[in-house]
Structure 1
Amino acid sequence: MELPVIDLAPYLAIADAGNREGESTKRVSGLTELCHEVSRLLKETGALLVKDPRCTAEDNDRFIDMMEKYFEKPAEFKRLQERPFLHYQVGVTPEGVEVPRSLVDEEMQEKLRAMPKEHQPLIPKGPDPKWRYMWRVGPRPSKTRFQELNSEPVIPEGFPEWKETMDSWGYKMISAIEAVAEMAAIGFGLPKDAFTSLMKQGPHLLAPTGSDLKRYGQEGTVFAGYHYDLNFLTIHGRSRFPGLNIWLRNGQKIEVKVPIGCLLIQTGKQIEWLTAGECTAGMHEVVVTKRTIDAIKLASEQNRSLWRVSSTLFAHIASDAVLKPLGHFAESPLASKYPSICAGEFVEQELSVINLKGNKGES
C-alpha cells in the first residue's frame, strides 16, 4: 500500500486569502472535503504524506548535507554537545542511550508476539545504535514550570551555518504541521485553531538522527526499535536511505516511500489524548531493509556519505498547557482513559520510560 499525497497548496492559498479578508476556510467548498481526508488518514493510518510549496527538496538537501558532515565527525567531538543533565532534550544523544519501548514494555511485547508473523516488528537486542541531535525551534515561554524542556540550544564548533540552517528547516516544517493541524481540526469538527492554539510556544524539537551504515549496515539491524512518539505530530523530510516501517491502525505493517519534495507526518501520543483515542499514536521502527542495502551500494559507488540522516521534527503541545479530550471528544466513551494532565508532566513521565530522564525505559 502507498500512502496518498495531500497537496497543502490549495488550503494555504485559501487560508491566506481568508486571513486577509476575514473569510472562514470552513465555508470554501472542496476544502472541507480535503480537511475530512486529512482527519480520516490521521485516524485510519496514523500517517500522512504532504507536499508543502514552502518546504522544497533543496531545503531538505541543504539540511541533510550539514547533518551528514556533523555525524561524520569523531565521537569525542560530538560528545562535547551532550547534555544528559537536561534529559538530552538539547544537544546530542549518543548511540546506545535511548532504549526503545518495545525492549522494556512487557504489555507491548505480548501484543507483538500476538501479531501475524509478517507484520511483527524486529525486536531490538539493546539500546538504539543511532545518534540524535536535539534543536529547539520557535519561541519558548518566559515563565514555565518545565525549564529543562525549554533549555537554550547547543551549537557545535566549526558550523557557522548551523543556527540558520536548523531554524530555517525547522520553521518550515512547523508551518507544514500547523497547516495539517488546522485541516485536521476542521475535519474532526473542532474550531480551526483547536490544536494550533495549544502548540504556541511548545517545546518543538528538530531532532535529526544519524545512523552509521558503514558500521551498522547489515540487513535486520534495528536503528529505532518499534515505538510511538510522545509528542503531538512528527514530521520528516525525505531520508536518502529507506528503512522506516509504520503500522496502520488495522495492524498492517508498511515500508514508507517518501516521494522527492514530500514530507511524512505521523500521529503522536498528544493528539491521541486530545481526540480521546480517535487518532492513536502511530507505531513505527527504523531498520536496515533490502531497499536500504541497495541504497548503501549506490551511495558507495557514488562516493556519498553512508550516514543515514532523518530530518525529524517533533511538534509539541506547550509544556504548561493541559492535555485533555477537546470539544465533542470529551463525550467519547473512551474519554476517561485520557484524564487531564499538564503536557510537560506527561512528557517527563514518557522520557523516564525511554531512559532519557534517569530511569530505564521508551521512544
Structure 2
Amino acid sequence: MELPVIDLKEYLAFLNGDPSTEKPGPEVIGLCKEVSRVLRETGALLVKDPRCTVEDNDRFIDMMEKYFERPVDFKRQQERPALHYQVGVTPEGVEVPRSLVDGEMQEKLKAMPKEFQPATPEGPDRKWRYMWRVGPRPSNTRFQELNSEPVIPEGFPDWKDTMDSWGYKMIAAIEVVAEMAAIGFGLPKDAFTSLMKQGPHLLAPTGSDLRRYGQESTVFAGYHYDLNFLTIHGRSRFPGLNIWLRNGQKVEVKVPIGCLLIQTGKQNG
C-alpha cells in the first residue's frame, strides 16, 4: 500500500488569501476532510509543503551525517543522562523499545499475520539520537528536563541555525496539518493547535552506524508507538523505515522527494 500524498499548497493559499474570507471554500474543506479521514483510518500520510524544500532537508541531513560520524568520545560530550536524555545526544544502547518489555504488546504482535510481524530486537536500540527543542518554552514549568537549555557541539558553527530552521519549518507543516484535521473533523480550526502552544516540540534526528551494524535484518529501532500528538519525518537517504497502520498492516515507508511523513501518536487533549 502507498500512503496518500496531500499537497498543502491549496490550504496555504487559503491562509494567505483575502483576510475577509474567514471560512474555507468547498475545495479546501474537501481536502481537510481527506486529511482527517486518512489520519483516522490509517494513522499516517505524506504531505508536500512548499515551505519545506529539498535544499532545507539536505542541509539538515548533511550536518547530522557529519555529527554522527564523529568519534564516540566526542559525541558523549553532548550526553545529558541527568536530564533523562531530553536534550543532547542519546547513545546507542540506551533506548529500550517497548516491544521488548511490554508483555501485552508482545502478545498483540504474535497475533499479527506473519508477514506483518515486526522483527524482535535482541536488546536496546542500536541507533543514536539527538534531542533538540524547537520553539518558545513556558516561563513556568514543572518539567524542567523537557525545557532545558540546548546542547550545541563544538565545531559546528551553523548548528543552532540549521536545527532551528528545519525544526520551525517542520512545526509549521505540523500546525497546518493539525488545522486541516480539525476542520475535517468539524472542530474549530485551532482545536489542536491551541493545545500545541509552548509545547516541548522536539527535533530528534537518528543516526545508525552501518559500518558497525551493516548486517541484513539488524534492528536499529524496535517496534514502538509515539506518545506525542503528531510526529513528522523528513526524507532520509537510506531505506529501512517500516510503520504499521491502524489496521495492523506493515508498510515500508517511501517518502517522495519534496515530501514529509506524518504519523499520529498516543497523546490527545
Q: What TM-score do the two structures reach when normalised by structure 2?
A: 0.98
Q: Which residue of 2 aligns with 1:5?
A: 5
**Secondary structure at 1:36 match in 2:** helix
Aligned to 2:32: 35
Q: Which segments of 5 or more consecutive residues in structure 2 lack a partner in the other structure?
A: none
Q: CA deviation at 1:25?
A: 3.5
1:161 to 144, 158, 161: 158
Higher helix share: 1
Cα deviation, 1:325-357, whole Å, max 9, x if unaligned, reads xxxxxxxxxxxxxxxxxxxxxxxxxxxxxxxxx
Alpha-carbon displacement from aligned partner over 1:150-208 (angstroms, at most 9, x marks no partner): 11100000000000000000000000000000000001111100000110010000000
Q: Which residue of 1 aligns with 2:65?
A: 68
SS in 2 for 1:121: coil
Q: What is the CA distance between 1:33 and its match in structure 2?
A: 0.7
Q: Which amino acid aligns with 2:145?
A: E
Identify the residue that residue 148 of structure 2 maps to in structure 1. 151
Q: Is 2:135 aligned against 1:138?
A: yes
User: 2:174 matched to 1:177?
Assistant: yes
Taking the aligned partners of 1:269 and 1:87, their CA distance within structure 2 comes to 21
Match of 1:24 among 19, 22, 25: 22
SS of alignment partner, residue 212 of structure 2: helix
CA-CA distance at 1:215 after TM superposition: 1.1
1:24 Cα deviation (Å)? Answer: 2.2
Aligned Cα RMSD in Å? Answer: 0.9
- Deviating above 6 A after TM superposition, structure 1's stretches of 4 or more consecutive aligned residues are none
Correspondent of 1:237 among 234, 237, 253: 234
8 Å CA contact 1:182–1:196 kept in 2: the answer is yes
> 8 Å contact 1:15–1:25 — kept in the other structure?
no
- Tell me the alpha carbon deviations over residues 266-295 of structure 1, each in whole angstroms, 9 at most, x when there is no partner: 10111xx3xxxxxxxxxxxxxxxxxxxxxx
Query: What does residue range 1-363 of structure 1 map to in structure 2 within 5 Å?
Result: 1-17=1-17, 21-26=19-24, 28-270=25-267, 273=268, 323=269
Offset at residue 111 of structure 1 (A): 0.5
* Partner Cα distance (2:45, 2:198) in 1: 24
SS of 1:226's partner is coil
Count of residues paired in the alignment? 269
CA displacement 1:23-63 (0-9 Å, x = unmatched)? 2244x111111001000111111111000000001100000
**Matches of 1:47 and 1:220 in 2, distance apart?**
24
Cα deviation, residue 22, structure 1: 3.9
1:41-86 per-position Cα deviation (integer Å, ceiling 9, x unaligned): 1111111100000000110000000000000000000000000111
Q: Distance in 2 between matches of 1:130 and 1:266?
A: 20
Q: Deviations over 1:121-174 (max 9, x none)?
A: 001000000000000000101111211111110000000000000000000000
Secondary structure (helix, strand or coil) at the match of 1:227 reads coil
Alpha-carbon distance in structure 2 between the residues aligned to 1:183 and 1:41: 12
Higher relative CO (Cα under 8 Å, sequence separation at least 6) belongs to 2
Question: CA-to-partner distance for each residue in 1:212-240, whole Å, 9 max, x for gaps?
Answer: 11111211111110000111101011000
Amino acid paired to 1:134: M
The Cα shift of 1:16 comes to 1.9
Aligned-pair identity (%): 83
Paired AA for residue 216 in structure 2:
E
TM-score under structure 1 length normalisation: 0.73
Distance 1:216 1:189 in 2: 47
